[in-house]
Chain A
Amino acid sequence: MAILALEAHRKSGLRQWKRKEATTAYLFSLPTILLLVGFSLGPAAYAFYLSGVSWNLLNSQHWVGLSNFSQIVTMPLFWTSVQNSVIFAAIVMPTQTIIAMVFAAILNQNLPARGLFRLAFFFPSISSSAVTSLMFMWIFNKLGLLNGFLLFFGVNGPDWIGDPRFALSAIMMLNIWSTSGYFMIIFLAGLQSIPQTMYEAAMIDGASGFQRFMKITVPLLKPSTFFIVVMGMIGTLQMFDQSFIISGGTGGPLNSTMTIALFIYQEIFSYGNVGLGAAATVFLFVLVLALTILTNRWLGKPIEY
């Protein structure tokens, strides 16, 4: 009897202690939970609600169901923005991933001045999008550095930013330039976990540098690649800063730099169509989510040796 009581007491003490621990843990996380709900999860959910209302921030909201969606899908500007964002992502994401991987593999060799090279590659990604966009506006100027360089080869360069055929390409170059180094660091960290003995064994078997890269480096870097592809995709599909800054907020010339994020910005701040902007936001979410799931199927499987 006494033992049972003691046991019960011990159990209730343990339960009490567990409850105290849980309370402490939630108290520690509470500010984080509140802020993330308030400024990430909440807004995401709120976007779904707002996509169903007609509202210009000043009048009273009224529920319109799905009509915002049926309205944006008939807007040519919306599809232009989707097309630009998708083309942008489809070119920038693979290019920056490949550049980052190749340069990481080279930098992982036993070469002199590795630290300096790493510094140079990483430097663009610590600068703000505002600064790099302004720098590249100047470089891409009709009479700028890039065209001066092209003239050296006898090519008359275009007005990169003023010509609708080239403006988006100019922003692509800027983005590849500014993010490749960041992803290269992630690949470099991934490379450190590949045992050198694998390369040595392959060399003894007579594998060339290219073969070693394709047969060892690429497959074993899959976890880093997966992360970089997902992060790169999310980043490129939401591209806003560079388009906004270089086009002066218009998405021009001729909407050639209009992205989905810029479309959303304009719907609310230029036209006051909260519902349409929210519908485009929901569209962007679904697009990103669908592509992430697809990538997960393609790259997310565990590595098979």
Chain B
Amino acid sequence: MEAVRPRGAWGWVSRIFYLLILTMGALTMIIPFLWTLSTALKPLGQALVFPPNWIPHPALWSNFVQTWKTVPIGSWFFNSGIVAVAVVVGNIILDSMAGYALARITFKGRSILFFGIISMLMIPFQAIMLPVYIILRDLGLINSYMGMILPQLVSAMGVFLMRQAFLNIPAEVEEAAIIDGAGRWRLFWQISIPMVSSTLLTLTLIIFMGSWNNFLLPLLVANNQNLWTLPLGMVMFQQQYYTNWPYLMAASVMATIPITVLFLLFQRWFIQGIATTGLK
């Protein structure tokens, strides 16, 4: 994309002005994270100094080890990981299957089904937490991994994303295979899925992020602390025990690392996914 080139002195002034605004905005976004890291490295006494001091002296990297030993953060990581992996696998399979049917097969009721699924986007989880809790309770899924997995196992947004991807496959690709006598199942698995692998990566990232960061569902389901996930565990740790800010911030840093690594590695796919689902 070729952008408009600035012209003359006024152009340069406005460019500098824009850069200044962007820098201020970017700093506002990043400073809380830097402050979290700074606090995570301080001895408790130093963290409570006012006015605040930016540079930890000495930098206590051992805070991370101590936090790991003091709170069961390892088990929270494990639980978050189990739930997130199951949810991602479920979404990859189920969202793709539904997205494929909606994109590639002509059948009666297709548009009703499509709009029915899309309208589920209008029902966010917070609004239905009460009935969902009761349903999970009736199914005996409170205090189980399944209770945290099942409600997230498909996503209307994921179906939409996959449908868009399957729509972009040229019809000729499948026609050739149909003439060779391939059934829908083979068309789906062997021909179409490999052609949408980039969207599958986007889906994986978005769904993983949603599950990893989910707070409310574990709050409803995991009353037993052996099942606490990272977000829930950290909040409970803060509310029930004490306010040791360096440890809390060290836990926050550790909890953010997996998402940060994924994001830095796959930034393009993250952004592509948000742009696609946002554009409609």
- Given A126-B209, A139-B32, A245-B235, A44 and B128 touching (CB < 8 A)? yes
Chain B 106-146: CB-based contact to A (< 8 A → 1; otherwise 0): 11111001001100101110111111111101000000000
Candidates A50, A111, A126, A128; contact of B18 at CB < 8 Å = A111
- Shortest Cβ gap from B130 to chain A (Å): 5
Inter-subunit contact B132/A130 (CB<8 Å)? no
Tell me the bound Cα distance from A285 to B124 in angstroms. 10
How many pairs of A and B residues are in contact by the CB < 8 Å rule?
283
Chain B residue nearest to A209 (CB atoms) is: B14
A/B interface sample: 11 pairs, CB < 8 A = A22-B109, A31-B94, A39-B135, A50-B130, A106-B18, A126-B260, A134-B252, A135-B249, A189-B279, A244-B219, A281-B131
A177 at the interface (CB under 8 A from B): yes
Q: Which chain B residues lie closer than 8 Å to A137 at the CB level?
A: 238
Which A residues between 221 and 248 are near B, CB-CB below 8 angstroms? 223-224, 227-228, 234-235, 238-241, 244-245, 248
Does B15 touch A at the CB level, under 8 Å?
Answer: yes
Given A29-B98, A120-B26, A128-B255, 7 more pairs with CB closer than 8 A:
A28-B105, A32-B95, A117-B26, A126-B270, A128-B230, A138-B245, A148-B51
A181 at the interface (CB under 8 A from B): yes
B159 close to A (CB within 8 Å)? yes
Size of interface on A: residues with Cβ below 8 Å to B: 104
SS class, residues of chain B in contact with chain A: helix
A-facing residues in B259-280 (Cβ within 8 Å):
259-260, 263, 267, 270-271, 274-276, 278-280
B243 to chain A, nearest CB (A): 9
- Say yes or no for A103: interface residue by CB 8 A criterion: yes
Q: Which of A32, A46, A130, A223 contacts B94 (CB 8 A)?
A: A32
> Given A25-B110, A29-B101, A148-B52, A186 and B279 touching (CB < 8 A)?
yes
Give the residue of B5, B28, B122, B235 whose beta carbon is less than 8 angstroms from that of A110: B5
Beta-carbon nearest neighbor of A259 in chain B: B126
- Residues 20-72 of B contacting A (Cβ, < 8 Å): 21-22, 25-26, 28-33, 35-36, 39, 48, 50-52
| Contact, CB under 8 Å: A40 / B120 | yes
A186→B5 CA distance, assembly (Å): 24
**A196 pairs with B154, CB closer than 8 A:** no
The answer to whether B107 touches A26 (Cβ under 8 A) is: yes
Given contacts A31-B97, A39-B151, A268-B133, contact A177 B18 (CB under 8 A): no
List which B72-124 residues lie within 8 A (CB) of chain A.
Answer: 94-95, 97-98, 100-102, 105-110, 113, 116-117, 120, 122-124
Q: Which residues of A contact B1 (CB under 8 A)?
A: 192, 196
B267 near A119 with CB under 8 A, answer yes
Inter-chain CA distance A129–B230, complex, in Å, is 11
A124, A129, A138: which contacts B29 (Cβ < 8 A)? A124
Q: Give the CA-CA distance A198 to B20 in the complex, in Å.
A: 26
Chain B residues 160-193 with CB under 8 Å of chain A are 184-185, 188
What is the distance, in angstroms, from A30's C-beta to the closest C-beta of chain B?
A: 9
Q: How far is the CA of A122 from the CA of B131 in the complex (A)?
A: 33
Mark each residue of chain B from 217 to 255: 1 if its CB lies under 8 Å from any CB of chain A, else 0. Answer: 001000000000011101100110000010011001001
Taking the complex as formed, is A60 at the interface, i.e. its CB lies under 8 A from any CB of chain B? Answer: no
Contact A145 B235 (CB under 8 A): no
Instruction: Judge whether A121 and B25 touch: CB under 8 Å.
Output: yes
Residues of A within 8 Å of B102, CB to CB, are 25, 29
CB-based contact B32/A177 at 8 Å: yes
Known A36-B120, A130-B234, A177-B32: A277·B130 in contact at CB below 8 Å: yes
